[in-house]
Amino acid sequence: MNDHDTLGERLAQQGVSRRAFLKFCTAMASLMALPPGSANAIAEALIKAKRPSVIWLSFQECTGCTESLTRSYSPTLENMIFDMISLDYHHTLQAASGYGAEKSRQDAMENFFGKYLLVVDGSIPLKDNGIYSTIAGRTNLDLLQDVAKGAAAVIAVGTCAAFGGIPNAKPNPTGAVAVSNIIKDKPIINISGCPPIPAVITGVLAHYLTFGSLPELDELGRPKSYYGETIHDRCYRRPFYDQGKFAKSFDDEGARNGWCLFELGCKGPTTHNACATTKWNGGTSFPIESGHGCLGCSEPHFWDAGSFYSALSMPASPLKLATGGAVAGAAVGIGASVANRMKKNAAKSAHETSTIADLEK
């Protein structure tokens, strides 16, 4: 089998029916907010699309992004579509190791220079010359710069690659940064989330295969079709927010009635992602549906935005200056009071009694 034959041939080999394939294309068109007619265009383009070479680099990460992609949807069509790309290098999924693995990456880089897609998950440490994460003796920074040179586009999968994520959280001991902090001359698409929704990854790949370009992005480089609205906007518990009905603890009557989790720290209002519509585990549910507030994992610096369990309207960290302010305020007040008294007393003692004789002078 040719490694880079067309998607149509590969689907036929795997016994995927045209009906199932069209269903997938329609779902993708709908997810990407494209007109209904474009489902056929996607199908036509995907059938003829050559399987692109994909090099997947894993840096400072937990492999959760790969877990999300491989487990959640398997064995649905989305997962098969992922099979339909030629994944030439991926630590977790590849059979080869050591020299063979690195050679596979090198071959892909040479054979498909300027055409391959580079997927990155994990952040890149810069402190101390990047020694905190190395692969085959090379730092993540060196590897990223080298592989990005010949990439058609870079897909930063997960919040670590997109925004620095947890390694970047204070005090950021490794000096971790996002892909976009290093690569400036290639189109970068951020698929944030900790982990990101698998359908979003496959959706972006489908868009790339169909149109040969990346989808429209928001100001943080995320595809607007998935990150255009907040979790709160699309949350099925939103009516309870509007009615002012909030769960006060995870086991009170409000929680059992499925009321809004805002007061329990839900970050849905400031979090852009498709969890509330696309959902997880094959459309089963999403965190809020399971009774827990949104952590805001697809937003930059979500780890440093205060407790997951304090409401957005509450302080993100304890107030430290109020006591000092009270002491200082009392001191200044007493000081001003003493100064005022002294001024009054001085005026009183400087007072001279005038007589009629004085006035007639």
Instruction: Assess contact for 95 and 202: CB atoms under 8 A.
Output: no
Instruction: Assess contact for 87 and 4: CB atoms under 8 A.
Output: no
User: Cβ–Cβ contacts within 10 Å for residue 183, how many?
Assistant: 21
Minimum CB distance to another protein, residue 124 (Å)? 19
Q: Which of 93, 131, 332, 342 binds another protein (CB under 8 A)?
A: 332
Draw the binding track, 201-220, toward another protein (x: CB under 8 A; -: no contact): -------------------x
Beta strand 138-139 with 134-135 is antiparallel
Minimum CB distance to another protein, residue 110 (Å)? 38
Q: Which helix (DSSP H) or strand (DSSP E) does residue 198 occupy?
A: helix 198-211
Which one-letter DSSP state was computed for residue 288?
G
| Residue among 70 and 310 whose Cβ is closer to another protein | 310
Minimum CB distance to another protein, residue 246 (Å)? 6
Which residue pairs, CB below 8 angstroms and at least 24 apart, start in 228-232?
A: 228/33, 228/272, 229/272, 230/268, 230/269, 230/270, 230/271, 230/272, 231/267, 231/268, 231/269, 231/271, 231/272, 231/273, 231/275, 231/276, 231/288, 231/294, 232/266, 232/268, 232/269, 232/271
Minimum CB distance to another protein, residue 252 (Å)? 14
Q: Which of residues 224-253 bind another protein (CB under 8 A)?
A: 230, 232-233, 241-244, 246
Minimum CB distance to another protein, residue 152 (Å)? 27
Minimum CB distance to another protein, residue 179 (Å)? 16
Counting every residue, how long is the chain? 361
Give how many residues touch another protein by CB under 8 A.
Answer: 45
Q: Which of 131, 236, 329, 345 binds another protein (CB under 8 A)?
A: 329
Q: Which of 21, 112, 262, 286 binds another protein (CB under 8 A)?
A: 262
Q: Which of residues 278-317 bind another protein (CB under 8 A)?
A: 299-302, 304-306, 310-317
Which residues make Cβ contacts (< 8 Å) with residue 115, sequence separation at least 6?
Answer: 52, 53, 152
Residues contributing to the site for another protein (CB under 8 A): 220, 230, 232-233, 241-244, 246, 262-263, 269-270, 299-302, 304-306, 310-317, 319-322, 324-326, 328-330, 332-334, 336-337, 340-341
